[in-house]
Structure 1
Amino acid sequence: MTADRSAARGVERRSREGAARVLPAKRVAAGPARPAAPAPARKETRTRRSGPLGGPRRLHDRLQAAWDRPLTAYYLILGGSLLITVLGLVMVYSASMIQALRYGYPSTYYFRKQLLAAAIGTVLLISAARMPVKLHRALAYPLLLGAVFLMCLVQVPGIGETVNGNTNWISLGGPFQLQPSEFGKLALVLWGADLLARKSDKNLLIQWKHLLVPLVPVTFMVLGLIMLGGDMGTTIILTAILFGLLWLAGAPTRLFVGVLSGAAFLAFLAIKTSPNRMSRLGCIAASDPGTNDQCWQAVHGIYALASGGWFGSGLGASMEKWGELPEPHTDFIFAVTGEELGLAGTLSVLALFAALGYAGIRVAGRTEDPFVRFAAGGVTTWITAQAVINIGAVLGLLPIAGVPLPLFSYGGSALLPTMFAIGLLISFARSEPGARAALAVRGPGVMSRTMRRFVKGRPSGKR
């Protein structure tokens, strides 16, 4: 009896377990099919929303993806330089109209000259952007020899002209003048990049003598010609270009420090032996014009910036340009920009220069061509260092060096080589890995076809 009861209970238990296994299968088979995809999607959405750092992370990922696109540097250089030049033309007209009227010229006198220089510079920019790298390298030696020859002519009595105490100009007839030292910056960049690239191809840059000779002696010769005219500001820019090229060439720290120490010693002697330069050095962070108004320009530059506020007094409404601020359309145009456009305007200018410099660094860092790396790094060092020196002087953080703000200040001699250098960067950015293929895809009819598809895809009531 007991065995029979145990066997019956085992059969009953096995039958219940089988039913439990069979019933869910029947329900699933008999019921409607349910998609399983929406549940994980809802869970993923809730996870993304619930994370406190989800928004910043997505923003960082989008910015990183945009930065990694092959045409990012190309658009940053082209758009940034275009915006700086156009805004510079507007500010040159606003800052120079009173100065022109004081000298008996029409109010648009300086603006028309700057507009003509910008038009010629645009042709140079487009030409440089379309030139192959071989042609850029072929221009290095002729441009250097031409710049040195013109700088020698400046020192010939009757040919060179003195402007604001510096003899670095050649008259071209009428109101037009040429400053050869501005073209010396471009010449040093191209010649130095070609020289270092040829030595890099032969694996000679590991020797210190090939790093220094003949790059440093030729640069010092050019610096000497410029210092004969008394232009300390341009000398500083050329020295910065030299250090940038040595840094990109991989100069060891001790060699770099040695050259820097020698340049600093020579700069100290040049400043110590000139009362004018000593007075400029004493005007750093000055809040009073001082005796004999030696810090007049520095102090009134601060006044202009301080009176601008957040959004400025309005375009054309500057008070300092009415004779209070010397050189309002050249060296101190950034101060007039701060007075008329306020902090928003000055920060916009700084952001454009930062984007331009960052794009130049990307071009120099991503290429495998030594010449492109050295040339892009040299141009970026040139424009960035000159912008920092000019803006630092206006803010009272650096001595007044007398250098214009690149692409922004008045001066055709400074604008033309700078726009050619921007064309170099554009040409190098177009040759980045993937950039040439991306530009080839974008044919002339891409924009029109895209707009036609967009219009056809919209409802008829929204066309």
Structure 2
Amino acid sequence: MTTATPGAQDREGGLDRSGWLAELRRSLDRPLTSYHLIIGVSGLLLALGVAMVLSASSYDSLETYGNSYTMALRQLLWVAAGVPLAFLATRLPLRLLRACTYPMMIVAFVLLALTFTPLGVEVSGNRNWLSFGGPFMLQPSEAAKLALVLWGADVLARKEKLLEQWKHLVVPFVPGSALVLALVLGQRDLGTSLVLFSLVLVLLFVVGMPLRFFGIFVAGVGLLVTYLAVTSSVRMNRLTSFLDPFADYRNTGWQAAHSLFGLGTGGWWGVGIGNSREKWGWLPEAHTDFIYAVIGEELGLVGTLIVLGLFLTLAYVGIRVALRTRDTFTRLATAGIVGWLTAQALVNMGAVLGLLPITGIPLPLVSYGGSAMLPTLFALGLLVSFARNEPGARAALAERAASRAAARARSTKGRSKEG
């Protein structure tokens, strides 16, 4: 019998590790990796979202509508409407998409402005909803995120050769973005304002804004946000209560405290899907803004880390697509979409974990709601379209289609001979 020396074992382990890393590198270098990852991650988040909405909304749905499945069925309808919209986005010609950016921005302005009319509805202290009668309500700020990303990418791409002059870098993108932010801040929706600000920063950073202007811009918006926070008792309570939710447990700290209760109860593996206790009237907004807490309670730390990993994977793929493309509009639009979804996910998770103040924004693809679902799925469809145009991806898809056509032709020929 022969025994391997420790050095030989280390070398074998090194070979195994290097082989594993080489295989991972080869997988990531395949031309369709980005394409498959975007579809796979989006599908997993959608499936998890429907399952968790079914679980988290069961009590509220029963109390409100007399049926535990009403909200889950509505979420399924939004997904069913959003998937064809995402497919349409994958087939939308780039020229047509860019031609639609200004109309999209105008529509976003109009819808945001309508919230200040009698059509506007106040929910949880924010006047950020429109009601057109009946059960149908719309949150215009969700569509405004998509419109701002695409409009900003188009404007900056058209001015690409002039961006060394600060006036072309700033006008009209910064005034247009400021108007959108002003309308959303007027609705008292600080959480959405932070997400919009994040995607504006991403676009300016990717396009190469000088650091001195970048710093001035960040400082100016930071002072504005601070002023808005300290001049509103509701916002100030939200900003301070997250530091110690148990100091005012029965008032401002209730939601944050019960979020932590749910996460703590879940442990490593959770109490099992459908078995959350906090969703039974204890945790407000369990199926929307705080669905991540229900995931932590029912699926445990492992479940929350998987969700975090899926969003980080989406961010990685977006950065990969942006770095590989030669088209400026595609690069900026990809970066903006990834900045929007990643920032929103991290702000939502941070609030649920008690690391950030509660801002009242949903977890993309997972939280209940159609106003956020449709723009998000359209944006992900655009990412799939951009990934299809990566170097080698289009050729690989064409080769795959040709192989399938040849296989079908052989199968048809074989059946005709048998006949």
TM-score (norm 2): 0.93
Q: 1:366 to 1:309 in 2, by over 3 A?
A: same
Checking the alignment, whether the CA contact within 8 Å between 1:204 and 1:210 is kept in structure 2 is yes
Q: Distance in 1 between the 2:41 and 2:338 partners?
A: 13
Q: Distance in 2 between the 1:194 and 1:109 partners?
A: 40
**Counterpart in the other structure of 1:160:** 120
What's the offset of the Cα at 1:283? 2.2
**Alignment partner for residue 284 of structure 1, among 242, 251, 254?**
242
Q: 1:102 to 1:378 in 2, by over 3 A?
A: same
**Counterpart in the other structure of 1:236:** 194
**Counterpart in the other structure of 2:179:** 221
CA deviation profile, 1:194-217 (whole Å, cap 9, x unmatched): 0010011xx111112211111111
Q: Distance in 2 between the 1:216 and 1:285 partners?
A: 33
CA deviation profile, 1:296-324 (whole Å, cap 9, x unmatched): 10111011001001111111100001111
Question: What secondary structure sits across from 2:132 in the alignment?
Answer: strand
Question: What secondary structure sits across from 1:310 in the alignment?
Answer: coil
Checking the alignment, whether the CA contact within 8 Å between 1:48 and 1:54 is kept in structure 2 is no
**Counterpart in the other structure of 1:433:** 391
Based on CA coordinates, which of the two structures has the bigger radius of gyration?
1
Identity of aligned residues (%): 50
Kindly provide the amino acid, as one letter, of the partner of residue 226 in structure 1: V
Q: Distance in 1 between the 2:70 and 2:193 partners?
A: 30
1:423 aligns with 2:384: no
Q: Distance in 2 between the 1:292 and 1:349 partners?
A: 30
Q: 1:345 to 1:86 in 2, by over 3 A?
A: same
**Counterpart in the other structure of 1:73:** 34
**Counterpart in the other structure of 1:295:** 253
**Alignment partner for residue 338 of structure 1, among 268, 289, 296?**
296
Checking the alignment, whether the CA contact within 8 Å between 1:219 and 1:242 is kept in structure 2 is yes
Q: Distance in 2 between the 1:350 and 1:50 partners?
A: 34
Q: How many residues align?
A: 404
Pairwise mapping of residues 159-308 of structure 1 onto structure 2 (< 5 A)?
A: 159-200=119-160, 203-288=161-246, 290=248, 292-308=250-266
CA deviation profile, 1:247-287 (whole Å, cap 9, x unmatched): 01001111100100010010001101111111111122425
Q: Distance in 2 between the 1:204 and 1:62 partners?
A: 43
Checking the alignment, whether the CA contact within 8 Å between 2:245 and 2:252 is kept in structure 1 is no
Q: Distance in 2 between the 1:175 and 1:340 partners?
A: 30
Checking the alignment, whether the CA contact within 8 Å between 1:289 and 1:299 is kept in structure 2 is no
Q: Distance in 2 between the 1:374 and 1:341 partners?
A: 36
**Counterpart in the other structure of 2:104:** 143
**Alignment partner for residue 360 of structure 1, among 284, 304, 318?**
318
Q: Which runs of 4+ in 1 moved over 3 A?
A: 46-52, 444-450
Q: Distance in 1 between the 2:276 and 2:403 partners?
A: 46
Q: 1:127 to 1:368 in 2, by over 3 A?
A: same
What's the offset of the Cα at 1:443? 2.0
TM-score (norm 1): 0.84
What's the offset of the Cα at 1:237? 0.6
CA RMSD of aligned residues (A): 2.0
Q: 1:219 to 1:47 in 2, by over 3 A?
A: same
**Counterpart in the other structure of 2:333:** 375
CA deviation profile, 1:63-103 (whole Å, cap 9, x unmatched): 11111111111111111011101110110010001011122
What's the offset of the Cα at 1:50? 3.8
**Alignment partner for residue 386 of structure 1, among 344, 352, 355?**
344
Q: Distance in 2 between the 1:289 and 1:409 partners?
A: 28
**Alignment partner for residue 403 of structure 1, among 361, 370, 375?**
361
Checking the alignment, whether the CA contact within 8 Å between 1:199 and 1:210 is kept in structure 2 is yes
Q: Distance in 1 between the 2:326 and 2:341 partners?
A: 23
